[in-house]
Structure 1
């Protein structure tokens, strides 16, 4: 990974007795796309505000390109900011909006005009230069906000839920546009969202936050396939979490007993998980294999198996979901998922089905 151009060390923020951000340390590499993800009140917007200089920390340090900017004004930080509400000046044309940050930096007129047109070309909107924001669609306004932010080429661009006001189809399109611009510019982006799919799609790394602290930091694949806590497993994507007990261990793989009935194997990345320790067994819906027979016994290729009663079927479009109740006392309901096909589901509500999984697709999580 490239050298860091954003370094955060021990940064914290309180509002009275409320801890908005516990002491937090984080390095962001030059050119990286880092997403701050988490539920409301997790601290992601507080952290972004501190980086932007819109709030001051109680303790800690922020360094941008090696310079301490902890208590510096926003304009001293070499950052750009894109907001959810676009924040375009309604009385200015598109070209004037984009030119504004250059004029504040006293860039000469010819260079300003050239940079404005370059920025409009970057967002594929050179034909709207003389229009006003009210004459543009929401997606066009958001692209103009991006152009205004990047026209002076800040080393870091901060984005605070920039796609939250758009409909799903337009939001999906803008995700691709932002990723394209990021690749072309190579600028560091710190992006705040509560949308898990958006974070998974766009990020080089995800910083998942909870209760003012970092719950897990890693690539989308790290967080999805190797969650380090029940919170991470439950928050990111859909998951089945079963109560289990570890009965043996060999390296990263453990033997488990689920509710004392289903036995099998799973991956365990936490070194403190030992024999006899209660764990949560995480199984993603698409990793549950469904069998017509209730006796889907574990074999050498399976990580485990159990039987369950089918209670509902839901076709969500590209995926079909089966909702099931395990034949185990007090076990939580399960969801299995597979690609929808034109023949429809061959299963019926009330049917008893067998479920199995591969050890590599199951994760035992301390908790």
Structure 2
């Protein structure tokens, strides 16, 4: 990916005393797929609206391809938008819906027909050109909305929860379709969702927002394996967050004890310099916990099995630390018919590699 074609500098928005977006800096590279992720009220839709020109900022700057569009109208920005509600004209055919943005831009008829045919091929729906929107499925309507956005070749495509109205199977299919189209087009996409799985699946980078500010910006792997805050660790994916205390320092690793139990294990640190005696949260992903591992480990904790749940592809074990029943953990592993079977009440040893655990400042 090359230099940024979307640059945001100190952009902010308030509604009275409420800070919808704190001063924010963000660069999005040409051809990048960036997802704005976060809970309701985190600022992701506000940021998208400011980029689109659907809201006016109280300060800061938006540059698209080096042009200041901070206070420009939406039609003055080189953007396209796809919404959760497809906003197709019900009285127009698919081809007419797609052609509409080109006709507004005074493109001649032959070029319109050619480009409509091209994008219909790209979304794999050329056979539906003469149908009306009511004759299409939800997934087909979403692909037509995407085709209408792509047909005038905007530099940036903004997507606001575009798959929110679809069922899970169709969502999964459309995620693959959007990724395929993104690869073919090479267009920059800024995508808003509250769905963590969707963000992990589709993004080059994730901008995780919290309380009107960027909590962490990085690749899906960065945020998942190396969260910088407890919020990131807790929001993205399933994790065990245990109360712990730093017992010794060793470069980018620390020794920790859980609820005063000595010698529990080791973890990595990310983004802060801890000190001995400091309280931290120990993040352990369920799939990184080994159950009754045969090889010796320098990080381990004894637990009592409280419950077992087979979720399909994964089996989850719900456990409590034997030394402190208030410390609960979840371990998971791929479900296998011939796999190890455990009994409720059984004492199990959980162990982990220091590289798979993260100590986070509280």
Verify same fold: TM over 0.5. Answer: yes
Q: Secondary structure at the match of 2:324?
A: coil
Contact map agreement 1:242 1:331 (CA 8 A) in 2 = no
* TM-superposition CA deviations, 1:307-343 (whole Å, max 9, x none): 1111111111110101111123364321000000123
By how many angstroms is 1:272 displaced? 2.0
Unaligned runs of 5+ in 2: none
CA RMSD after TM alignment: 1.3
Contact map agreement 1:259 1:331 (CA 8 A) in 2 = no
Q: Secondary structure at the match of 2:113?
A: helix
Confirm whether residue 326 of structure 1 aligns to residue 321 of structure 2.
Answer: yes
Contact map agreement 1:266 1:303 (CA 8 A) in 2 = no
* TM-superposition CA deviations, 1:273-326 (whole Å, max 9, x none): 12221111100000011118xxx8x94xx3411111111111111101011111
By how many angstroms is 1:270 displaced? 2.7
By how many angstroms is 1:344 displaced? 5.8
**Partner in structure 1 of residue 247 of structure 2:** 247
Taking the aligned partners of 1:172 and 1:159, their CA distance within structure 2 comes to 16
Change (3 A) 1:113 1:303: farther
**Partner in structure 2 of residue 339 of structure 1:** 334
Taking the aligned partners of 2:187 and 2:271, their CA distance within structure 1 comes to 35
* TM-superposition CA deviations, 1:134-160 (whole Å, max 9, x none): 000000000000000000110000000
Taking the aligned partners of 1:271 and 1:24, their CA distance within structure 2 comes to 22
Contact map agreement 1:94 1:131 (CA 8 A) in 2 = yes
Taking the aligned partners of 2:55 and 2:272, their CA distance within structure 1 comes to 39
TM alignment of 1:147-296, pairs within 5 A: 147-261=147-261, 262-291=263-292
By how many angstroms is 1:257 displaced? 1.4
Taking the aligned partners of 2:143 and 2:225, their CA distance within structure 1 comes to 33
By how many angstroms is 1:84 displaced? 0.4
Taking the aligned partners of 1:136 and 1:271, their CA distance within structure 2 comes to 52
46-55 or 257-266, larger mean C-alpha shift: 257-266
* TM-superposition CA deviations, 1:243-274 (whole Å, max 9, x none): 11112212211111122225211111234212
Contact map agreement 1:273 1:366 (CA 8 A) in 2 = yes
- Of 302, 315, 318, 1:307 maps to 302
Taking the aligned partners of 1:333 and 1:125, their CA distance within structure 2 comes to 50
* TM-superposition CA deviations, 1:10-58 (whole Å, max 9, x none): 1111111111111111000000000000000000000000000000101
**Partner in structure 2 of residue 360 of structure 1:** 355
Taking the aligned partners of 2:148 and 2:208, their CA distance within structure 1 comes to 29
* TM-superposition CA deviations, 1:330-363 (whole Å, max 9, x none): 6432100000012365011121111111111111
Taking the aligned partners of 2:62 and 2:271, their CA distance within structure 1 comes to 31
Q: Secondary structure at the match of 1:364?
A: strand
Confirm whether residue 15 of structure 1 aligns to residue 10 of structure 2.
Answer: no
By how many angstroms is 1:194 displaced? 0.4
Q: Secondary structure at the match of 1:332?
A: strand
Greater than 6 Å deviation, 4+ residue runs: none
* TM-superposition CA deviations, 1:228-250 (whole Å, max 9, x none): 00000000000001111112212
Confirm whether residue 109 of structure 1 aligns to residue 109 of structure 2.
Answer: yes
* TM-superposition CA deviations, 1:76-97 (whole Å, max 9, x none): 1100000001111101000000
Taking the aligned partners of 2:271 and 2:25, their CA distance within structure 1 comes to 22
Q: Secondary structure at the match of 1:28?
A: strand
Unaligned runs of 5+ in 1: none
